[in-house]
Structure formats: C-alpha cells, structure tokens
Amino acid sequence: CEVDVSSLMAYRESEKDAFRERHGFPLSYVPFFAQIVCAALLRNPYLNSTWTEEGIVLHHYVHLGIAVALPDTLIVPVVKDADLMGFVDLARAINDLAGRARSKSLRPDDVRGGTFTLNNTGALGSLAGQSIINQPQAAILSTESIRKRPVVVDDAVVIRPIMNLTMSFDHRIIDGLAASRFLNDVQDGIDHWSPEKISL
C-alpha cells in the first residue's frame, strides 16, 4: 500500500539537528516506523506469532528484528521488548544494534528471538520489494523509498512524499484479511502521524 509521510517527514526535518545534538546519534525514520509497527502488532497479535507443529504460538511481547544492510550481506539484530520502549530508548537501541552490526561486534543473543521483522529497503532506493519471511516469524514488513509524487487530496492534485509498504506473511498463520488489517493499521499510523503519538 501507499502512505503519505508528510507529517512525519516535516517533524523529522525540524527535529533532526537538535536530536543529534541532544542524544549524539542521527534521527532516522526507523524508530518512528518501529513504534507504529509495535502498536499495530499489539492490535493484530497473529502477525506477532510463530507456527509450530503443535499449533500457533502467540507472543505477548514484541522482539522487533531490524534488517541492517552490510557491504556484502544483510543481518537482522533484534530489539527485545521494543513495544515497551519509549521513543528515545528505542531509537538508541536501533542505532546501537545497527552500529554494532556494521562493525561486526554483535553478540549471538543480539540476533535471536525476533517475533517480527522491519526491513527498511527504502534506504537502499527500493520502491517495491518482496522480502522473504525471517522464519519462524509470521511476517516481514518493508518500508520503501520516500519519493515526491502527485496525489489527489480533496479533488486537487498536490505533491506529497509517498512511500510504499510491502509485506510477506506465512499463510499457515494468517490470511489476506488479517494481513490487510495489520497493514491498514500501519498505513493509518503513518498517514495520520503527529508528534502527540510518540510513546515516551
């Protein structure tokens, strides 16, 4: 699906310099998307589950995998209990894991136990990818490249920053209806994002 990133982009642009000065690392889009995804997973728990031979295991926590591109490969470190973190702590955890992934200093536990994966392929310029599920997770969501495009708003053509969301999911666990409801929650969270929605 397509999402309008106007509000989120404007906020990040206005805050990124002060954020870096205050916290010592850059303000990326990923922690914003991560909080939106965590909220959507709590409303759609089957997306945050695992298929086993004994049945579906629902996880009552979000261990969020964050795909990190390295020069010659991809690795998915995991932010444990991402759903319980405030925004700054979540941003710091993501930045720390990504930095240690790039410096090849992750510990084995840093890449274990993920319940859902967020893949920011847009950072590499992708417009619409089809990611492979990080088994045994139920699904993987990709945020694609943000591009300015003409869109219709209130019967007028305007230019807006638009991003595609793509998702792959395990059909043994969820069907298209459940997947669409989750994706709609993420879309709504980005389309109607405001600073008041940041979980501190």
What is the C-alpha separation between 55 and 77, in angstroms, rounded? 26
Amino acid at 176: G
User: Exposed, middle or buried, 85 (CB in 10 Å: 0-12/13-18/19+)?
Assistant: buried
Q: Which of 17, 175, 188, 192 is catalytic?
A: 175
User: Exposed, middle or buried, 152 (CB in 10 Å: 0-12/13-18/19+)?
Assistant: exposed
What is the C-alpha separation between 91 and 89, in angstroms, rounded? 5
Q: Which of 194, 200, 198, 180 is nearest to 9 (CA)?
A: 194
175 a catalytic residue: yes
Match 């997770």 to its residue by tokens.
Answer: 137
23 a catalytic residue: no
Handedness of CA 83, 140, 119, 153 (dihedral sign): negative
- Which residues share a beta bridge with 118? 66, 141
Q: Which of 17, 23, 109, 171 is catalytic?
A: 171
Return the C-alpha torsion angle 152, 157, 161, 164, nearest 10: 30
What residues are annotated to the active site? Answer: 171, 175
